[in-house]
Amino acid sequence: MTKLGILSFAHLHADLYAAAIRSLPNVELAGIFDEDSNRAKQKAQEFETAPFDNVNALLEQDIQGVIVTAENAKHRRYTEAAARAGKHVLCEKPIATTMEDGQAMIDGCRNAGVQLMIAFACRFCPPIYRAMQIVKEGALGNILGLKGTNRGQMPGGWFTDKALAGGGAVMDHTVHLVDLWRWMLGREVKNVYAEIGTLFYPDLGIDDAGLLLLQFQDGPFASIDASWSRPIPAYPTWGDVAMEIVGDQGSLTVDGLRQRLCLYGKESGKAEWLPWGDDMFQGVIRSFARVAQEGTPPSVTGEDGLRALEVALAAYRSAETGRTVELPLGG
């Protein structure tokens, strides 16, 4: 039995990870810590586990790993605490809000002899996984260009607080597509140009829209629409993760969230898209449970998280200066 704990329910995905843990055999949710003691008690009751109001008290339990789903700026704090306690870590994306914090997390886990996995759930989405295989098999030939969209609803709360989130929609949504393309192409991003603004929620105080142009090493270029452009409550779901990949021998389009039913119900008063089929969050937990039980390197590493964060930070720098930003980032 692999026993896992969750550190914070600040992030919306914490509920999905908790549900995934409970759905899998031989994986147990052994406890929940949250800075908000009332939320810890509420979530512990919902998911039938123990609440903790002290992070070290949970880390002292007989658990193999933890899932860090705190606010982005607190990822380093909880990851380092878990590493010191000898627990493997699954950290929500983005890895951190600064390159310094992300590197410290990688170093801290390595020095403690524990594994750090980043929760890029889209890698575990079957349509996207198959798209990766097609690209790597060479069926599209030499990849010339890529176009991706990660457009969602504005989540509110701490996601719109730069001190806690590190940025708005561009920080929240850029990293998914960058990670997927690095994984598929086996290449790093060479430079970034970005236009970033607040278009949908004028009084938000943080970016809700961004258009990024990337150049990968050895040629391929890409564009990303990273935005909170799906209004609440009218849109049927939170958003999309879609891409088009063009090569000199063919092209491919994929939307990772197309496994869905369309429901028009009286109760909700709107159209709804209900997911069916494989659960990518369950895939993340299944993979991390093996890492936590066996101590083997994860399929999605801290370095993967750091490289994706670097592109998001480069996008903000580009938008501020109006210039293309070369990678790796300097000081």
**Could you tell me the two tokens for 184?**
């598929």
pLDDT at 67: 98
* Beta-carbon count within 10 A of 84 CB: 14
The confidence band for 257, taking pLDDT boundaries of 50, 70 and 90, is confident
pLDDT surpasses 90 at 266:
no
Among all chains, which residue has been given the structure tokens 């939320």? 39
pLDDT surpasses 80 at 331:
no
pLDDT at 188: 97
Q: What is the DSSP string of 245-264?
A: EEETTEEEEEETT--EEEEE
Complete domains list, the chain, with CATH: 2-122+281-301 (3.40.50.720), 126-278+309-326 (3.30.360.10)
With residue 27 as reference, give the H or E element that holds it.
strand 27-33
Per-residue pLDDT reduced to its tens digit, 195-241: 999 999 999 999 999 999 999 998 899 999 999 999 877 888 888 99
Q: What is the DSSP string of 117-139?
A: EEE-GGGG-HHHHHHHHHHHHTT
Rounded to whole angstroms, the Cα distance separating 92 from 125 reads: 16
Q: Phi and psi (nearest 5°) for 46?
A: -65, -40
Per-residue pLDDT reduced to its tens digit, 297-308: 999 999 999 999
3-state helix, strand, coil split of the chain in percent (to 5) is 40, 25, 35
Q: Phi and psi (nearest 5°) for 255?
A: -125, 110
Mean pLDDT value of segment 268-292:
89
Rounded to whole angstroms, the Cα distance separating 213 from 170 reads: 13
| The 51-52 sheet, strands edge to edge | 51-52, 27-33, 2-7, 65-68, 88-92, 116-119
What's the one-letter identity of residue 24?
Answer: L
pLDDT surpasses 70 at 172:
yes
Beta carbons of 312 and 98 less than 8 angstroms apart: no
pLDDT at 135: 97
